Amino acid sequence: MYPMKYKRILLKLSGEALMGNRQYGIDPERLSEYAKDIKEITELGVQVAIVIGGGNIFRGVAGAMNGMDRVQGDHMGMLATVINGLALQNALEDAGIKTRLQTAIKINEVAEPFIRRKAMSHLNKGRVVIFGGGTGNPYFTTDSAAVLRAIEIEADVILKGTRVDGIYTADPEKDTNAVKFDNISFKDVLSKGLKVMDTTAFTLSQENNLPIIVFDMNKKGNLLKVVTGENIGTKVK
Ligand code: UDP
């Protein structure tokens, strides 16, 4: 039995992560890989809440650049996160995990509305809770939703699953001399101008002393390593 470092986590997955190798939409194989990784940690007793992005389907900013009303576009983006949430819920349930999807915008026929106490009760019963619809407000991102929900449900940490294995001194996909940080403070992220989350999300995390771990979610077994406290990825605290 592994010692668990975290009892309750908030996992943030971007919409793009669900694309796998595709250019758009959802890759069912990627989803089922994620489901297996998530199952592994729930079976060890870790309580898992997930905030899912929508960038694989629609982003309000992109719509606005093409002349669309920004708020209208953000509503579309938030609904995109609900589509991803439903897909993820399906994959998790296929893997035998009990789940609930709660949305910040009410779609009662499809999902529960976000109710903090209910979410915490589901988590205590071992159900994975997926939060869709972002914060429910335009001009925010799902990173902000992730931090907000993490604080509300009293998660121990935010795990930001990405395709890179942490925070680097420069973009490792462009600069071969880039060096990875194992640990870094909120202050240093800001002073070095590093990009972890958008400023609103990052500041909210900092103000509430909520650590963020950025790690490569596409490598099998990494999620387990993170929750057992193995030093992979980069921890911001
Ligand atoms: N969005 C929003 N309010 C929120 C969260 C998301 O309006 O609280 C919209 C916004 O248009 C955003 C889109 O939903 O571009 C998808 O979310 P995000 O870009 O954060 O997804 P990710 O980059 O994680 O895939």
Nearest atom of ligand 1 to the alpha carbon of 142:
20
SS3 49: strand
Residues 28-83: tens digit of each pLDDT: 999 999 999 999 999 999 999 999 999 999 999 998 899 999 999 999 999 999 99
Question: In whole angstroms, what is the distance from residue 162 CA to residue 196 CA?
Answer: 11
Give the residue-averaged pLDDT of 205-217: 97
237 pLDDT band, cuts 50/70/90, is: very high
CATH topology of domain 8-236: Carbamate kinase (3.40.1160)
**Does the beta carbon of 213 lie inside 6 Å of ligand 1?**
no
Annotated domain spans of the chain: 8-236
Q: State in Å: Cα 135 to ligand 1 middle.
A: 9
Question: In whole angstroms, what is the distance from residue 182 CA to residue 140 CA?
Answer: 28
Give the residue-averaged pLDDT of 213-217: 95
Helices (H), the chain: 28-43, 60-65, 70-94, 116-124, 142-152, 186-191, 199-207, 222-227
Q: State in Å: Cα 142 to ligand 1 middle.
A: 5
Sheet holding 47-52, edge to edge: 112-113, 99-103, 128-132, 47-52, 8-13, 157-162, 212-216, 234-236, 183-184
Q: Is the pLDDT of residue 205 over 70?
A: yes
**Region at 110 (left for phi over 0; alpha for psi -120 to 50; beta for the rest):** alpha
DSSP letter at 4 equals P
121 pLDDT band, cuts 50/70/90, is: very high
**Does the beta carbon of 19 lie inside 6 Å of ligand 1?**
no
**Does the beta carbon of 60 lie inside 6 Å of ligand 1?**
yes
**Does the beta carbon of 77 lie inside 6 Å of ligand 1?**
yes
Q: Is the pLDDT of residue 1 over 80?
A: no
Q: Is the pLDDT of residue 3 over 90?
A: no
Give the residue-averaged pLDDT of 81-105: 98
Is 196:167 a contact under the CB 8 Å cutoff? Answer: yes
Question: In whole angstroms, what is the distance from residue 29 CA to residue 12 CA?
Answer: 19
What's the token pair of residue 142? 């799902």
Supply the mean pLDDT for the chain: 95
**What's the pLDDT at 164?**
86
Give the residue-averaged pLDDT of 197-205: 95
Q: State in Å: Cα 3 to ligand 1 middle.
A: 35
Query: Largest Cα–Cα distance of the chain, in whole Å?
Result: 55
Is 8:49 a contact under the CB 8 Å cutoff? Answer: yes
Q: State in Å: Cα 79 to ligand 1 middle.
A: 9
Question: What is the CA 227 to chain-centroid distance, rounded?
Answer: 15
Nearest atom of ligand 1 to the alpha carbon of 73:
11
Q: Which residue has the higher pLDDT, 20 or 75?
A: 75
In the chain, the percentage of residues whose pLDDT exceeds 70 is: 99
Q: Could you tell me the pTM of the whole model?
A: 0.96
Give the residue-averaged pLDDT of 99-109: 97
Q: Is the pLDDT of residue 96 over 70?
A: yes
Which protein residue has the closest C-alpha to ligand 1 atom 21? Answer: 53
Q: State in Å: Cα 230 to ligand 1 middle.
A: 30
**Does the beta carbon of 142 lie inside 6 Å of ligand 1?**
yes
| ipTM attached to this prediction | 0.98
**What's the pLDDT at 4?**
82
Question: What is the CA 113 to chain-centroid distance, rounded?
Answer: 19
